[in-house]
Every structure is written in C-alpha cells, then in structure tokens.
Structure 1
C-alpha cells in the first residue's frame, strides 16, 4: 500500500475516533461499561500515546511527551482504576489529541521532518501506526456497544427472527502442503512471522459463518442447558453467567429477539452472521451441529490454519463480517522471534487466549489480510465475533 493511501487512512481514523469521543457525553466518556474494557477516554488517549511513541520516542529519540503520560496509557503500569483517575478532563484530552494528530501527520507526510531510521526505510512505521489506531478504533466501538446495552430503550421487532436448523453448505479443501503466515510484509506483526509450511488433511468448511437463525435454533433446542455440548470450563462459565443467548441479543415485549449495535438496537436478520459469541458458546454450538447428523456429522470449530488456507486458496471468498473463533490456543509459530519494539510485541502468548481470524464489519482495511491474527480469552463476550465450522471430508460410497 502506498504512503499517501496509508496517510489517508490515518487521517480518516483520527477523524472517526474524535467523532466517537465528541458524540459521547462527558460522563460516559469516563465510565467503564464492561469489566474487560476501559473507558472511551482511555482508548482515545492510548491511541495518541501509541502513535507518539512510534513517531517521537522510537524514530526521533524524544521521549519527553510519552514519558509524561506513560503510567496512564501503558496497561499494567498502574491499577486500571488509578490510570483512569489520572485521565485529563474531556476538553484537555480532546485538544491534546487534536494537536498531536495534526503534528504527527505533518511529520509523517514530510520525510525531511524526520531523521533516518530503519522503520522509515522499510516502511513499517506508518503501517504500525495505522494498524494500532485501527485496533483501538474497533475497541472504542466495542465500548459504545456496551454503553448501548445499558440504555433503557424499547425496541419493537419488525422482522421476527425464526430459528432454522443449519443445512450443509460446505466447500472442500484438498489435502496438501500449504504456506501460512508471512515473511517480508512491512505491515506484519511479529506473531504473523515467520512464514510456515504446514500439512493439512482433506476437510470441508462452511461457506458462510453461522447465522442468527441457526444460532437461535441452537438456543431453542436447549443448547445452553445441555452440558454434553460444552467443555468443562465452558459449562462452568455458562452456569456462572446464566446466559441463554449471545451477549448482544435482547428481546422485546413480545419475546422477539433483536440485536444491539454500537449506536442503537436493530432487528436480527436471519441470514446475517451471529455476533457476540464467546469461544465457549462457539464450541457448544459446533458440538450441537455435529449431532444433527448426515453431512453435518463431525462438525468442529475451525483451526486457524484451516481458515487461512481456505482464504488464501479462495475457497472462502466471503469473510470479514464477524471475527471468527478458532479452535486453537494463540501460540507463536515455529522459530518465532519477538520484536524489539514494545508497542508491537505480542503479549498474549499465555496459553489462555484463543485465536480469531477474519475481521468484523468494523475492522479497518489495514487489518484485513489473510495472515493477521487476533486473540481473546474464551469468555470474552464483547467482541464482534462469530463462528465458522469445519467438517470431515465427504465419505465416498
């Protein structure tokens, strides 16, 4: 991607992040709406800290600006609540962000304003900045979705969602050796590298992610109450939370289901991918589908290698509407080497996070590539996440 295109993306991200912040009342900018998410104001500040870290501290060797706010915007330096107490007031934070945005874009657009640095020579600097802001922008939307969940709004469903048991609409991937990951991509994070040659057996994969209608059929079949579908940890989570539906679903006074977006409630469209599922729910749904028999027998959650191969070989052409949970723990590839740059280093190789692939409707273009890897804890319910299943190869008579 050319420099002017990346600069255009960065400017758009700046504008969208400011709009989200300005359109939210001050009190709600500083509230925590989900126990696993920070307040909106923290994400705006975190975005500007990260951008300034790359541009001024790493490239220019000037840490004056970042050192002053580091304890606020680096996760874990202080307890979360203490970080949030130290956030500047709304107008101060907004003016600080706007000033940094203008200054940083000016420096990035004018090569003579920056010293020579390997990140500039390789083109990685601008990629890192755009991608980190893209990730933070999506987190800001997740905060606003959680805010919307708390709002007392009456919504009357106009198009009733009807549960529909899934049918087989599967695509085949042949056994073979395939390459995953990436080598010299300037945009790649350390967890996407180095490129790997892997071997896969034949498998079939859903053409589309699981739909709202199919997931409703799972709930109506007693999916949340049948322990046989759940992993041991998933069942404990299920009983503790008492969920009977995906996190973003609600019912109107006629018991019809609707969804919550980051702006407002919306009718759930039967054919759209289900959104807001945890890894625990994804596993339970897969086990339920497998019991339906015939071509759906043996259904399981996809491995990230299967997703990447199916995408790279163009077997899957439609993705990116929901993040897709994978069956595997988020782990480094063989011969992985962590980056020396703290703000680009993967921190979730802890044997607890699971992999997600593909991106959501709100994922920016900079992150929409076959090798990009996302991760989350299995109980994470606020993501724009869904489910795609794989199946054994068709049995020949």
Structure 2
C-alpha cells in the first residue's frame, strides 16, 4: 500500500462512539491532573518520568496538532509557543524540566478549547476518513498518556484519583494453579490486516509466520513464585535487592507491596508486576525456563480465553522490537520508527489502565528491557 495507508483504516467508528470515548478519556485526564496537590507537579528529573504539567500540555498539543492543525507547523496553535514547549519529537527528555510551563489554568483552558472543537466535529455526525483517523490517533495517544500518568503516580507514591483503576489493580489475583499449555507447530498470521479498523504502523502488515511447537504457562508468574526466587538467592548468600520489585518491602516476616500511596500485604496469588525483562530473565535462568517470543505470546493471546489466564499486565517477550517486512510509517512518524534501535523489546497484553479498544492481540508495546516502572509482568515457556 502507499503512504496514505492511514486513510484506508476502515471500518471507521461511528462519530457517536468516538464522542463517548473522547468524553471518557477527557474526564480521566482532567481528574488526574486536577486532583494533584499544589507542588506535586514538581518532580525529580528521572528517566521514567515527565513533569506532570508538561505531559498534560504535550497531550493537548498533540491532539491540536494532528486534528486541528492538520500536522502542519505553519498552521497556528491556539496557544502561543506551544510547538516549542510541547513537541516531544524536538524537545529532549531532560529539557522538559527547563522550560517555563504555562499555569495550570492556561493549560486547562487550552485543553477545553481543543477538545470542544473536536467534540463539535463529532456532534455533526459527519467525518471524513482523515478526520476519523486523526481523532482516533489523538484519542488513543491521550489514553496512553493517561496510563503513563498511572505508572508515574505509582512511581511517585501519589494518590490515584480514579477508584476503578485502583480497585482493579488490587483485585488482580487468581487461585487456579498454573500449568503449561503445549502448542503444536503452526502457521500464524502476525500483525494486522487491511480493512480491520484503526491500527498502529508497526502492525503493518499481517503476514504468516511458522511458529515451532512450544509449551507456555497458562498464567503469568505470581508474587509467590517470584518470592521463591528471591528466597533461593538469599539461601545461596546472594543479595536479592537488585532483583526485588521496586514497590515491595519486608517487615518482620511479612512482605508488603505499595499500590500508589497505600501499602498492602503481598497477595501471593497475584501476578508479579513491575519486573524488568532483565530480572524476568534471571528468574527464568533460575527456573530453567525462558521468556516467550512475540510470535508465541501472540499465538497464546489469540487462543480461546478459557485456556489461559490474562494477567492484566504488559508481558515481556524475548523479541527485539523490529519492523515487519514492508513497514512504512504513518503520519506520526516518531511513533515506531525511532524505536527500531535493537534496544527495545516487544510486550504484549494490556494493563488495567488500558481501554478495552486498545486490548488487541495485534497491539505491540515496546520498552527497553531495564525498565520496570510501568505495569509489566511475564509468563514463561519451557526451555
């Protein structure tokens, strides 16, 4: 296909559906930012964080740039100097702490202005393919940043202001024993096909791959299983501090895990989370198992749900994030292409903070394997 692939991502959703989804996402964003206490917008310069008000300004700018400015810099912004302040493609990470961010009142007005103009388009009931694509792009980008706010708030120990997200993150546990599922060699269609609705460019295009037979765990590794690994290191006289999840602590004989600002006794049956790929691999080495490949985890996640247990976490694979053959970038060229650097790993799945419409088996998430601040876990394959 051509550089205009994105205009062919049919079927397009109804304007009324996009209206409902955008209102939901907007409410989440406003609640998250609006509930920050004074001073909490000032955070230390750390690799996994952005200043919260900068990130808020960025997601507004992105929405305005693609939906209302048509991706053309010469089309003026509703906010003076917005391009210089909030274009993540041109502002390196550390510089985001150096700029003078407008007041929260100005940012909230900017947000309302941008969103209301988009809602007016959706209320008209008529969308061109270009409008439908870019509104979805802006919506899903905002959803991803809302999820990023959740793991930032977790990192910072802030109160999470949305009850459903907090409750869901506390209830992810399973009492059924894990088992290994044997999957015979198969031909599998990896990626997304044309005319299946909105996709991201790194999913282009669907192609057949031969997946050799493998055996994969029905469940992600649990807190209890990971705790056994830490105890084995301790018994061997090896310090386990560098392998311990960042939000765990031990008091006496009891382990606790922090959920945002609350410490709770560790649920041994819950899937272990906030684990880097490096520590997942160290666990696998101890257990004489391995991480699944992207192909293997994709096969599992398209299988009947009764045969495997979702973890509600992004799950690590051993696969490097690479383009599929014939890849071409969509208009937001920095979504995928800069990260095909042999440093990023593919993750599959979703977290409890991922909207239902992004919980697709074709979706490819990607992070460097040393990161563990987002909501990630892992399952294993027999070696």
Q: Which residue of 2 aligns with 1:243?
A: 242
Residue 89 of structure 1 is matched in structure 2 by 103
Q: Does the 8 Å contact 1:218/1:285 carry over to 2?
A: yes
174, 192, 211: which is aligned to 2:203? 192
The match for 2:283 is: 285
Change in Cα spacing, 1:226 to 1:362, as seen in structure 2 (3 Å) is farther
**Compared CA separation, residues 77 and 16, structure 1 to 2 (3 A):** same
Spell out the pairing of 1:294-305 with structure 2 (5 A cutoff). 299-305=289-295
Show the 5 A alignment for 1:4-153: 4-32=16-44, 34-58=46-70, 63-65=75-77, 68-75=81-88, 77-84=90-97, 85-111=99-125, 116=128, 118-120=129-131, 123-148=132-157
1:375, CA displacement in angstroms? 0.5
Partner of 1:381: 372
- Describe the shift of the 1:148–1:196 C-alpha distance in structure 2 as closer, same or farther (beyond 3 A): same
Conservation of the 8 A alpha-carbon contact between 2:16 and 2:122:
no
- What is the match of residue 177 of structure 1? 187
Paired position in structure 1 for 2:172: none
Is this contact kept in 1: 2:182–2:214, CA < 8 A? yes
Q: 2:357 is matched with which residue?
A: 366
331-340 vs 196-205, which deviates more? 331-340
Cα distance change on mapping 1:95 and 1:26 into 2, 3 Å = farther
Deviations 1:277-334 (A, max 9, x none): 00101111111111xxxxxxxx110111111111113265432511100001111111
Partner Cα distance (1:33, 1:110) in 2: 43
CA RMSD between the two structures = 2.8
Cα shift at 1:263 = 4.4
Aligned mates of 2:94, 2:101 — CA distance in 1? 10
Tell me, yes or no, if the aligned pair for 1:208 and 1:388 is still in contact at 8 Å. Answer: yes
**Cα distance in 1 for residues equivalent to 2:320 and 2:334:** 22
Q: Secondary structure at the match of 2:39?
A: helix
How many angstroms does 1:338 deviate by? Answer: 1.7
The number of residue pairs the alignment matches comes to 351
Please report how far the alpha carbon of residue 255 of structure 1 lies from its aligned counterpart in structure 2 after TM superposition: 4.9
Note if contact 1:134-1:366 (Cα within 8 Å) is conserved in structure 2: no
The answer on 1:306 being equivalent to 2:296 is yes
The two structures have a TM-score, normalised by structure 2, of 0.83
Ranges in structure 1 where 5+ consecutive residues have no aligned partner: 151-165, 228-237, 291-298, 393-397
The answer to whether the 8 Å contact 2:42/2:51 transfers is yes
CA distance in 1, matches of 2:74, 2:124: 18
Relative to structure 1, the CA distance from residue 39 to residue 224 in structure 2 (aligned partners, 3 Å threshold; closer, same or farther) is farther
Asked if structure 2 preserves the Cα contact closer than 8 Å seen for 1:224 and 1:244, the reply is: no
Return the alpha-carbon distance in structure 1 between the equivalents of residues 109 and 95 of structure 2: 22
SS of the residue aligned with 2:351? coil
TM-score (norm 1): 0.80
Cα deviations across residues 224-278 of structure 1 (Å, max 9, x unaligned)?
9899xxxxxxxxxx99xx52411222234x2522222234223321111001000
For the 8 Å contact 2:243–2:279, the answer to whether it is kept is no
CA–CA distance in structure 2, aligned partners of residues 340 and 73 of structure 1: 18
- Give the direction of change, closer, same or farther, for the CA distance of 1:104–1:353 in structure 2 (3 Å limit): same
* Residue ranges of structure 2 left out of the alignment (5+ in a row): 1-12, 160-175
Alignment partners' CA distance in 1, 2:180 and 2:214: 10
| Deviation (angstroms), 1:33 | 6.7
Q: CA separation in 2, counterparts of 1:17 and 1:204?
A: 41
Deviates more, 1:199-208 or 1:260-269: 260-269
CA contact (8 A) 2:314 2:351 kept: yes
Check whether the contact 1:223–1:284 (CA below 8 A) recurs between aligned residues.
no
- 1:10 shift after superposition: 1.5
The CA distance in 1 between the partners of 2:335 and 2:365, in whole Å, is: 13
